[in-house]
Amino acid sequence: MVNEVVFLSSWFSPFGMRIKIALAEKGIKYEYKEENLQDKSPLLLKMNPVHKKVPVLIHNGKPICESLVIVQYIDEVWKEKCQLLPSDAYLRAQARFWADFIDQKVFECSRKTCMSRGEETEVAKKELIESLKVLEGELGKKHYFGGEKFGYVDLSFIPFYIWFYSYEKFGKFSMEAEFPKLTAWTERCLKKESVSNSLADKEKVYHFIVQMRKKCGID
């Protein structure tokens, strides 16, 4: 069977980085197309007409949208190598729960922490610290969120590492002091080439956010 894989994303998208890591973990060859979100390509608009967002994976001409859906698709289609979701149904449900928590809670309050000022930043920062504490507790003494092996929850969360530097700058707190377990977990994840080769530079992301803040009139 032919396996033509095209991947649309933007360099700064943490959601896109999930797909990059999954493709690297599975050793899948693909063509990467960088999207300019200020001037979206006809291909992106055709392949994701509902949300018009990256990432999109196009497998043999058929689009799959939403990063967590894409990762699950990759795991099901390329199932021989390096399973990302657990095979046990209960553990699989738990993994999906935490990935959803990362998107619903962590992403939302981290975006607000970096893209606000004054009182609004303080409220968002408090919520961000609370949700990261929940993740720190869930990780506990484990090596990775799923246990001994890097998996779906790790892959869903590690792209936000590139924002940690910006959390510290805008939220004025130290990730290492507040979250020693998450910090050690980050270092473990970064030792994996699939991860380190897929993440954007954290300072470049910080400067991008600084520009976005100016554009949105926050600074």
* 204 contacts ligand GS8 (rule: CB under 6 A): no
- Given the rule CB under 6 A, which of 47-55, 160-168, 184-192, 207-215 is the region that contacts ligand GS8? 47-55
Question: What is the sign, positive or negative, of the torsion defined by CA atoms of 101, 106, 35, 75?
Answer: negative
Could you tell me how far CA 83 lies from the centroid of its own chain? 18
Shortest distance (Å) from residue 104 CB to ligand GS8: 10
* 37 contacts ligand GS8 (rule: CB under 6 A): yes
Shortest distance (Å) from residue 20 CB to ligand GS8: 13
Tell me whether residue 55 or residue 146 sits nearer to ligand GS8 (CB atom). 55
Shortest distance (Å) from residue 28 CB to ligand GS8: 18
Shortest distance (Å) from residue 181 CB to ligand GS8: 25
Shortest distance (Å) from residue 177 CB to ligand GS8: 27
Range 53-72, binding ligand GS8 (CB under 6 A): 53-55, 66-68
85, 86, 98, 16: which is closest to 57 by C-alpha? 16
* 93 contacts ligand GS8 (rule: CB under 6 A): no
35, 14, 18, 34: which is closest to 163 by C-alpha? 14
**Rounded Cα gap, residues 27 and 21, in angstroms:** 10
Q: Within 10 Å of residue 90's Cβ, how many Cβ atoms?
A: 8
Which residues are paired to 32 by β-bridges?
Answer: 7
- Placement of tokens 């300019």 in the chain: 36
Question: What is the residue-wise DSSP string for 83-100?
Answer: --S-SSHHHHHHHHHHHH
Q: Which residues bind ligand GS8 (CB under 6 A)?
A: 10, 13, 15, 37, 52-55, 66-68
